[in-house]
């Protein structure tokens, strides 16, 4: 646990801090304390608690085992935060996804995933000749179409859809009603199921 503590361990609205609606509408909160005016303890406690609560929560979640405390410098705290955030760039976060990144860093994972997504955007096409009822579209031996691929099918004529679809490694076989003209059929791999 960090060595930072929240201002007022157990706040009580109306006793040692203001409740939300009072604090949010307080004229001294919106304008600040006036020169020569008296700052009430409940108002000061409310302002300190709000700012301190967020700061302590961040320190406790980001650098929970720090030895820094009230007497530490801003530079020391900045250094610990920098060390933590720099360490994120050397961690691999993505697991359990088809085409799981093999990189050792978050940057490598992002590059690998971007490449995987780009490769999934390719549309494989073929022409269903006029009068034909069957077409098989292949992935050109790229191994992008798998038996468990989730696919989208496109045709160059609105409303023309396949009657049957069979997805196999490297290809998608489809049947259609016979068409009076050639139509282009496209298959896009959306992922795996």
Whole-model pTM: value is: 0.44
Q: Of residues 30 and 172, which shows the higher confidence score?
A: 172
C-alpha span between 5 and 67 (Å, rounded): 13
149: which residues sit within 8 A by CB, 6+ positions away? 167, 189, 190, 191, 192, 193
Nearest to 151 by CA among 179, 127, 123: 123
- For position 102, what pLDDT does the model report? 53
185, two tokens: 């059929």
List C-alpha distances in Å: 44 to 6, 21, 28, 56, 148: 14, 16, 10, 18, 62
116-161 pLDDT per residue, tens:
555 556 889 999 999 999 999 998 888 889 999 889 999 999 999 9
State the pLDDT at residue 10. 85
Domain residue limits, the chain: 20-88, 91-119, 122-192
């Amino acid at each position: 646990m960090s060595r930072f503590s929240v201002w007022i361990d157990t706040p009580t609205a109306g006793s040692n801090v203001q409740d939300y609606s009072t604090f949010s509408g307080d004229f001294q909160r919106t304008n600040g304390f006036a020169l020569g005016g008296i700052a009430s303890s409940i108002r000061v406690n409310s302002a300190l608690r709000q700012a301190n609560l967020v700061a302590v929560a961040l320190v406790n979640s980001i650098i929970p085992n720090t030895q820094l405390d009230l007497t530490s410098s801003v530079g020391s705290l900045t250094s610990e935060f920098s060390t933590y955030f720099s360490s994120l760039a050397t961690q691999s976060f993505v697991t359990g996804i088809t085409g799981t990144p093999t990189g050792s860093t978050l940057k490598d994972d992002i590059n690998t995933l971007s490449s995987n997504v780009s490769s999934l955007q390719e549309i494989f096409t073929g022409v269903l000749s006029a009068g034909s009822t069957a077409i098989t579209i292949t992935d050109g031996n790229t191994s992008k179409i798998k038996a468990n691929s989730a696919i989208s099918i496109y045709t160059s004529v609105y409303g023309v859809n396949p009657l049957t679809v069979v997805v196999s490694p490297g290809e998608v076989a489809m049947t259609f009603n016979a068409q009076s003209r050639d139509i282009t059929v496209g298959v896009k791999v959306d992922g795996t199921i």
